[in-house]
Structure 1
Amino acid sequence: MTVSYRQPGVVLTDRHFTVPLDHDAPTGETIELYAREVVASDKANQDQPWLVYLQGGPGFGANRFVGKGAWLGRALKEYRVLLLDQRGTGHSAPANRQTLPLRGTAAEQADYLTHFRADSIVRDCEAIRREVTGGAPWTVLGQSFGGFCTVNYLSTAPEGLTAAVVTGGLPSLDAHADDVYRAAYPRIERKVAAHYARYPQDVERARRIADHLLANDVVLPNGYRLTAEAFQSLGILLGGSEGSHRLHYLLEDAFVRTPQGSALSDAFQEEVQGLLSYASHPLYALVHEAIYGQDARPTDWSAERVRAEFPQFDAPKTLAGDAPLLFTGETIHPWMFDCDPALRPLRETAELLAARTDWKPLYDPARLAANEVPVAAAVYHDDMYVDTAHSLATARAIRGLRTWVTDEFEHDGVRAGGPRVLDRLLTLTRDEA
């Protein structure tokens, strides 16, 4: 059953689809996908081309907009938009500690989750495109991991695309996860240095909090065990347009005076648990490194192993001296599955995925070199989440792709920039600029 309803300036329609769990076994098990169709109120009865939005992540459902927020208003001037909850997220067969036990053992859960990468998401898009558009090709907008999916789309089903737009999401075509993180840690260090240059008072604040955590066993109200390493992972904020400011305000309210001395404030603990918990997006933690798997090499907790090559990120060593504490960024570590109650039951499943050696290639360099789909990509200068050099190498490998390299935005430019980013990229796909 389809249900339509209104928000300011838009008409929304809930859409549901049935697709194979394994597209190579089309008569086997199926899963249910959800997407929200959005159209401008004054165009609700008009025929328009379609744009499908692929969210960043992996593991996040599509944006829940109210009205025409961020880039959506620009898109609705000429498209019907399909906001797809990618498989495993939102209302699309959600994968979490509550649902995954339905699959059986940890090994069966890990096997199931191998079907939740970019290749399966793109085949979902192709399956539902025929139902949504009647077979006509559509435009895809891929943000971050959604851009990884878009490059897979160009590799495997370009006939389904009228145009492709990527924001902060051109992946390396052949890098192993180790290569990704070796490039990432120096980038993260630069972001932390820039934060401390802006807010020098945060150097002492961060050291004091980490010292407290090394000396005390702190468990947040939701059961999350807050260690010094977990505190460092708040650096993930530094990749967003307002992230440095958010981190600063968080640190300044960390301690409160009590009859027993000073303690981490309730307000600090409440905000930190919301930032660190994977309860709303556990799939991100489970398959984040798997999105880089393309051959017989296991990912094997790559971010954790590579971090050992950068000892300046080690909190005890840092605090033994006088160097600033370094935060980390978009990295997943095995200790997260011990600290986070939303992940603890999934530790064995995560270990099996990290050890997996049968990952299929995600990109086809030969097909990309012969690409005929109009493509434009925003590449954010020194993007903390996606390496700029990797992105530019991939841009050169995709025939006809036009890049917009900018330091005006961080990784969330398509949101923070409102309609400007999408407008610029659509213009590039049409050779209008």
Structure 2
Amino acid sequence: MTEPKAHPAKAFRAAILHSLANPTDVGLEDSYQYFDDGVLLVADGHVVKVGHADDILPSLDPSVEVVVLENKLITPGFIDTHIHYPQTGMIAAYGEQLLDWLNNYTFPEEKRFADVNYAREVAVQFLDELARNGTTTALVFGTVHKESVDVFFQESEKRNLRMIAGKVLMDRNAPEDLTDTPESGYEDSKALIEKWHNKGRLHYAVTPRFAPTSTSEQLRLAGKLLEEYPDVYMHTHLSENQKEIEWVQELFPESKNYLDVYDQHGLLSSRSVFAHGIHLCDGECKRLSESDSAIAFCPTSNLFLGSGLFPLSEMEAKGIKVGMGTDVGAGTSFSLLQTMSEAYKVMQLQGKKLHPLKSLYQATLGGAKALSLDHLIGNFESGKEADFVVLDLHATQLMKFRMEHAQSLEDKLFVLMTLGDDRTVCDTYSYGQSVYNR
């Protein structure tokens, strides 16, 4: 890809909020920065500075365009740490738990991705939905078809998005026309890594679907890819459902636990992201923490499939990195605002509170940390990439009415989380350029 062309400086004036650190680590007060009347100055795809309008506006060159946004809040772009692009067309599929849901809905839909034209059509729809919902970075499952990932990267490159994706590895316990072999999966993944990893803002993830659909030989070759390309990602599922865990134990009787299957094949690292992790034992938590691996918390799909309640507080107390994922299509919304709302409910059911500033952290800087990308994205520190979203505080009549009665920043943010969805997103900017405008 050619280098992105230079873009002149541009200033955006609105209320601005971004996370500085995990509230769990530093306390709420030191975890964020908020400017009621702020300016975000961007140039050439990067943040130049952020601050109070009174401090920044007088120093701007007269040539700098200032975009004034009334009743709006600017936050960093949302980061989705687990989502399936091929499941866009089966979102809101009725009435199953995980394993039946895979067989009855997921596999039949994913077979369609052998058709490159269909894969491209869905990729375009998927990326449009991400932008419409303010998501600027995502860790994405493809299908077993090499072409499905090739097309996804092509469409992401056109928009200059920071996306991470990979071809699914699946050599057993799936329909024959959705399986590869250990060797073909390895070779296809290798070719895609060579073509796309670190091209522009794109990254590759070695992607075994989950332990039950890969033989030990396939997992061994997945580990070999991670050895050969140490800066690629590893993306899979872990301990989502109790029946799934029992199945893994039957298939891998020599393993100590579910995570140990992956561990034995060299799949744990600071670039490994495990979706769900609801039902983990102490030994699994210890290894996740030691290896600096991350979990993607997917509250919407966990509730939709009846999988269980993710113990966020316990995972963080054990030193595990946690991002937030929509998990479309078991997740029922592309919106990380709606996902934050579901996360709040998941915590409530466990007798815990989830503060709105903590939710924002999980969906932005926390996601960046989970993906080892916090040096590039996640907040508005000077020099970071200018991925941001403009949120309309008056997006609906009810939201407007409720905002007029909000007493604090936390109150406004909680209203956004609870009542917000794609209607709340006015503009989405990736690398300083608009990729969606309502």
Query: TM-score range with shorter-chain normalisation?
Result: under 0.3
More strand, by proportion: 2
TM-score with structure 1 setting the length:
0.28
TM-score with structure 2 setting the length:
0.27
